[in-house]
Structure 1
Amino acid sequence: MRRRLSLVLVVGGLVLAGCSSPVTGAAQPLRTPVEAWLAHSPSLIAHRGGSADWPEGTSYAYDRAADWSPSLALEAPVWLTADGVWVVCHDATTGAEFDADLDIATSTWAQLSALRTVDGDLPMARLTDVLAEHPDRVWLVDDKPAADPAGLLDLLDSAGGPDRFVLKSYGPSVAVPEAARERGYRTWGYWFTSDLPTFDADQVRYDLLALPWDGPVPAWADAVATGRPVFGHVVATREQARQALDRGAAGLMVSGVTEVVTR
């Protein structure tokens, strides 16, 4: 008796398994960009645009990451300026990356737009600009101060909504993940090893979970046992990626894009 074989193709990390049953011709539901990204194995995210490779959080970094791989999601930590502009920066102040140390919440966009990165002499990115520059990308947006969750969600609603965006939050956070879920967004929560004692209580607010790539093996086992995708963060090297995947990671938050992500 002849054995019927199924065909498995791997394209850019996305596994497509063929089926031996007859093709019916029935239309298949289209996946949203977020769903298509989550179907990749592993699902990959460029941390601040690739913080180990390029000046983080700049349009330049996001351009380079997008050029590097079509399957990379992009991550943006954001703050709200005194005049209501969402800007991309990890810290509440600018001194770690830029040529002057300003407090973002009490500064205007005019003041912040004049800054340049110490590495590369590049301007600060405005969230609306980088979203418009990469309209085909999935984005993880991290509202650092939780200053105006409704206002940020209004902005994301107008730029593609839950089909395109995932809301990222520090695991113990409450306001942003709850507001995001009410609007139909997926939520992505991350923990550090010191936060893990509260993981069981906090993880219920998130659809996607993230632990340190070298986090305790029992904590990884508990996270994987929830049945939700678990990501390793923040991964700079292939060895770190391998350790996270060995612990059961379904995805990786990658700072070392050129080192970890196959082009």
Structure 2
Amino acid sequence: MRPRLGLVLLVGGLVLAGCGSPVTGAVQPIRTPVEVWLAQTPSLAAHRGGSADWPEGTSYAYDQAADWSPTLALEAPVWLTADGVWVVCHDATTGAEFDADLDIATSTWAQLSALRTVDGDQPLARLSDVLAEHPDRVWLIDDKPAADPAGLLDLLDAAGGPDRFVLKSYGPSVAVPEAAHRRGYLTWGYWFVADLPTFDADQERYDLLALPWDGPASAWTDAVGTGKPVFGHVVATAAQAQQALAEGATGLMVSGVTEVVPR
């Protein structure tokens, strides 16, 4: 099942549009938060909460990014602990950011919650916590291990479902985008230059596409030619943002929130 379209609410013969006043004579869709976000020009998301600005993947980073812009989506790479807790971290191990190097899949939440970032002394974020702290945000969730797609989707279903979440995957991935589509979620695939030879086949699994902001012009032409929204990643500076937009990007995955995102 592909993502459903916006709902229409009819009351007493009047149509209530998503933003407010009753109108007559035409049926207007009530847009979901994801649809509203995608209608922005460009659509912006904070990579790991703003990985160039704040300790990435922490509640502190997501708080800062959310405070910076009310329309900024938030991106979270997630892994599953040994005791079944989804945590926010880019790598399978914690040593790149935290004060001990633990393997997430074989560690418990109790062990991981004691860690602190080397930069800023911030704790590792638990996915359920940051989602609850920012219930009004669109989130892009990157299931790194694809260890339990159904379990992750159950969590997201309970927290707002396809109206609020987009499932993000590495372009050649299969399990997560297919499981997400069956639940009605939009999918967001990203590629690096080395992955581009299989782009044409891979992109069929995704609704939203993302290329390196400095990727080859030919790759950008191919991606834009699909007619799907195309994002530039990962953008740290205003100059990088402008280059991606000039190539045809309709959105940006931003690490440098304070430099790129208007406040």
Whether TM exceeds 0.5 here: the answer is: yes
1:118 paired residue number:
118
Give the 3-state SS of the residue equivalent to 1:259 in structure 2: helix
Q: Distance in 2 between matches of 1:72 and 1:168?
A: 16
Deviation at 1:29, TM superposition (A): 1.8
2:5 paired residue number:
none
1:240 paired residue number:
240
2:259 paired residue number:
259
Deviation at 1:26, TM superposition (A): 4.2
Task: Tell me whether 24-33 or 125-134 shows the greater mean CA deviation.
Answer: 24-33
Q: Distance in 2 between matches of 1:75 and 1:32?
A: 18
Give the 3-state SS of the residue equivalent to 2:181 in structure 1: helix
2:30 paired residue number:
30
Q: Distance in 2 between matches of 1:139 and 1:262?
A: 19
Aligned amino acid, residue 121 of structure 1: D
CA offsets 1:83-137 (integer angstroms, 9 cap, x no match): 0000000000000000000000000000000000000001000000000000000
1:195 paired residue number:
195
Gaps of 5+ in 2: 1-22
1:165 paired residue number:
165
Q: Distance in 1 between matches of 2:148 and 2:262?
A: 37
Q: Distance in 1 between matches of 2:24 and 2:127?
A: 44
Aligned amino acid, residue 217 of structure 1: A
Aligned amino acid, residue 40 of structure 2: H
Q: Distance in 2 between matches of 1:35 and 1:70?
A: 15
What does 1:76-91 align with in structure 2 at a 5 Å threshold? 76-91=76-91
* Matched-pair identity in %: 87
1:12 paired residue number:
none
What does 1:1-263 align with in structure 2 at a 5 Å threshold? 24=24, 26=26, 28-263=28-263
Aligned amino acid, residue 52 of structure 1: A
Deviation at 1:160, TM superposition (A): 0.3
Deviation at 1:28, TM superposition (A): 2.2
Give the 3-state SS of the residue equivalent to 1:167 in structure 2: strand
CA offsets 1:197-251 (integer angstroms, 9 cap, x no match): 0001100000000000000001000000000000000000000000000000000
CA offsets 1:131-164 (integer angstroms, 9 cap, x no match): 0000000000000000000000000000000000
2:14 paired residue number:
none
Q: Distance in 2 between matches of 1:144 and 1:243?
A: 28
CA offsets 1:156-181 (integer angstroms, 9 cap, x no match): 00000000000000000000000000
Gaps of 5+ in 1: 1-22
Q: Which runs of 4+ in 1 moved over 4 A?
A: 23-27
Aligned amino acid, residue 57 of structure 2: G
Give the 3-state SS of the residue equivalent to 1:129 in structure 2: helix
What TM-score do you get using the length of structure 2 for normalisation? 0.91
Give the 3-state SS of the residue equivalent to 1:117 in structure 2: coil
